[in-house]
Structure 1
Amino acid sequence: MIIEDFMPEVGETSIREKLVSCLKSNPKTLPSMFFYDHKGSELFEKITQLEEYYPPKIEIPLLRSTARTLNGELNECDIVELGSGDCSKISVFLDEVPEETRRNVVYYPVDVSREAIEKSAGILQKRYPEMDVHGIHADFLEHIEKIPGKRKRFFCFFGSTIGNLTEDKAMEFMRNLNRIMNKNDRLLLGMDMVKDVDVIEKAYNDSQGITAEFNRNILRVTNSHLGTDFDPDDFEHVAFFNKELSRIEMHLRAKRDLEVRSPLLNERFIFKKGETIHTENSHKYTVGHIRKMANAAGLSLENVYTDDRKWFSLAEMVKR
């Protein structure tokens, strides 16, 4: 197992500056990357198992069937998984790939967490000892040119992670990906689809309140970096579908007038009752959106694999 490291050292000062800038913006925001401390990761794992949270329940069987369909495209090919995280989804995909094909595959997990790459690579090497694993510790939005490209590549971007990007950022990412792709390289892109608003909103407002706890946990992470005295109980979780922008928005809304301070800063953050902190977006797509994204990136949309209810899709795109 090899892991190449392209992530710059990010000091605590830079993190604090980013957080302060977001909390001073209008409207106030916090970057969703700060959801995922140890507790946040545990809470998100619980979310994926909730009855209301449908995406993984549809994407996993869809990955199995799609892998069987695309087996012929994986011969003498490198598989690059962007934002790889844990190995749960790629394992489902690789289970459907014949051993003789995996023997000639190099799997490249690309993630900002070196710990996640090390853990998943260890699991995958035990599960598929015949397959080479070459980790890329990098931010795929910033360091996409670092991904090796000597052989044909099959890019995987699962979990509708692209939906967390703004439309402009998503289009920029797609154009940058096209720029480094070689002729006949493929992309399999997981995308959560527009559906009944009640179904979407229930997925982000679960009956057990786990998503609410996950959302408020970002305040604890902020406290750990800034020394602020945010009390998560002073904020309520708000998640709703913005039809105009075709996205779920998650916010934290102040229950009362607040003044948040830190002994580490000269700053103080004032909140009026009802004021919100915008913490995350999750865009939902139509087939029209998928075609627009492929066209903007200069990629050929070959297939859209979906479930019977058309709730989640895997879009197959090729560089011609």
Structure 2
Amino acid sequence: MIIEDLMPRTGESSVKDKLLAGLRSDPKTIPSVFFYDHRGSELFEQITQLEEYYPPMIEIPLLASTARKLEQDLKNCDIVELGSGDCSKISVFLDEVPEDVRATMTYYPVDVCKEAIEKSACNLHEKYPEIKIHGITADFLEHMEKIPGNRKRFFCFFGSTIGNLSDARSMEFMENLGEVMNVNDRLILGMDMVKDISVIEKAYNDDQGVTAEFNRNILNVTNDHLGTDINPADFEHVAFFNREYSRIEMHLRAKRDLEITIPELDEHIIIEKGEMIHTENSHKYSVDDIVKLADAGGLDVEEIFTDEKKWFSLVEMVKR
């Protein structure tokens, strides 16, 4: 078992620059990659267990059925899971693969959170000792070329994480992924589909307030990197569906006027009462959108696995 760390250290300039650029902008933003420190990863695991958060309840059985269909294609291949987080989804997938096939595979979990990679790698090693595991701590949007490519690969991007990207960024992601994929490499892409808006908004405004805590935790991560003292309690969680862009938006709205000091720069950032910091988007897709994304990466859509209500899809694509 190998863990390779490609992420910048806490407080390094590239990280600070991203955060500062977002806080200085109008409207203010914090990139969603900063959700996932150790606490953020724990909170997201809790979100996936919530009754209101429907994607995992649909995606899990789809993962099992997809793995059964593809099991023979997985022999002597590498599985690269982008944004792997905890190992719950890939475990469902691997459970359906025969042990003799698993013994020929190498699993590459790729995630920004080193603790999540280490925890999931240990759990998977214990559960599937026959599988080689090579964890990579990295931002897959920036380090795609670092992923080994000597054998046939199945790229897995579960949970509709691609929906967190802007339209332009998701197209760029698919283009970059297509450039590193070899002919006949495959992608299994989780995609949250367009549906009744009340269902979507409920999923991001759970009654227990776990999503709200997850959203506010991004301010703790910001404090760790910038040395600021932003109080998450000074912000309220806001999540709503933007019809124009077919996406959920998550924001943090200031409850009072605030002045944030950046110690190293002797700089002050003013946040007025009611002003919002944009933290995340989650796009919802149509079949036409799926085809456009595949085309951007030079991929063909092989099959779309979905539920009876067509709320969530796992899309199998192959590199031309």
Give distance in 2, aligned partners of 1:220 and 1:190: 29
Over 3 Å counting, the alpha-carbon distance change for 1:295 and 1:258 in structure 2 is same
Give 1:198's aligned residue. Answer: 198
Task: Call closer, same or farther: CA 1:4–1:253 in 2, change over 3 Å.
Answer: closer
CA distance in 1: counterparts of 2:262 and 2:110, whole angstroms: 35
- Are the structure 2 counterparts of residues 38 and 177 from structure 1 closer, same or farther at C-alpha, using a change threshold of 3 Å? closer
CA distance in 2, matches of 1:135, 1:39: 20
190-199 vs 221-230, which deviates more?
221-230
Render the CA deviation track for 1:272-316: whole Å, top value 9, x for unaligned. Answer: 222111011111111111011111221110100001111110000
Cα distance change, pair 39–8 in 1 and its aligned pair in 2 (3 A): closer
- How far residue 74 of structure 1 moved from its aligned partner, in angstroms, is 1.1
Alignment of 1:140-159 (within 5 A): 140-159=140-159
Per the alignment, residue 246 of structure 1 pairs with 246
Which sits farther off after the overlay, 264-273 or 84-93?
264-273
How far apart are the structure 1 equivalents of 2:193 and 2:107?
28
Q: Give the superposition deviation at 1:159.
A: 1.1
Partner of 2:93 in structure 1? 93
CA RMSD of the aligned region, Å? Answer: 1.8
Q: 1:13 to 1:301 in 2, by over 3 A?
A: closer
CA shift at 1:199, angstroms?
0.3
Distance in 1 (CA, whole Å) between partners of 2:235 and 2:64 is 40
SS in structure 2 at match of 1:218: helix
CA distance in 1, matches of 2:198, 2:182: 41
Q: Deviations over 1:94-123 (max 9, x none)?
A: 000011111111112222333322222221
- TM-score, with structure 2 as normaliser: 0.94
Residue identity (%): 72
Instruction: Say if 1:132 and 1:236 are closer, same or farther in 2 by CA, change over 3 A.
Output: same
Higher mean displacement: 109-118 or 287-296? 109-118
Whichever residue aligns with residue 96 of structure 2, its letter is E
Q: What is the alpha-carbon distance in structure 2 between the residues aligned to residue 224 and residue 138 of structure 1? A: 19
Trace 1:77-226 onto structure 2 (pairs within 5 A): 77-226=77-226
Conserved in 2, the CA contact under 8 Å of 1:111 and 1:136? yes
Counterparts in 2 of 1:271-310, with a 5 A limit?
A: 271-310=271-310
Note closer, same or farther for the CA distance 1:173–1:232 as it changes in structure 2 (3 Å cut). Answer: same
Q: Partner letter of residue 199 of structure 2?
A: V
Do the aligned residues in 1 keep the contact of 2:77 with 2:106 (CA within 8 Å)?
A: yes
Structure 1 stretch displaced more, 21-30 or 108-117:
108-117
Relative distance call for 1:287 and 1:263 in structure 2 (3 A) is same
Per mean C-alpha deviation after superposition, the further-off stretch among 22-31 and 117-126 is: 117-126
On the 8 A contact 2:247/2:284 being kept in 1, the answer is yes
Partner SS state of residue 248, structure 1: strand
Q: Which amino acid aligns with 2:78?
A: D
Q: How many residues align?
A: 320
| 8 Å CA contact retained: 1:82, 1:140 | yes
| Runs of at least 5 residues in structure 2 that lack an aligned partner in the other structure | none
Shift of 1:228: 3.0
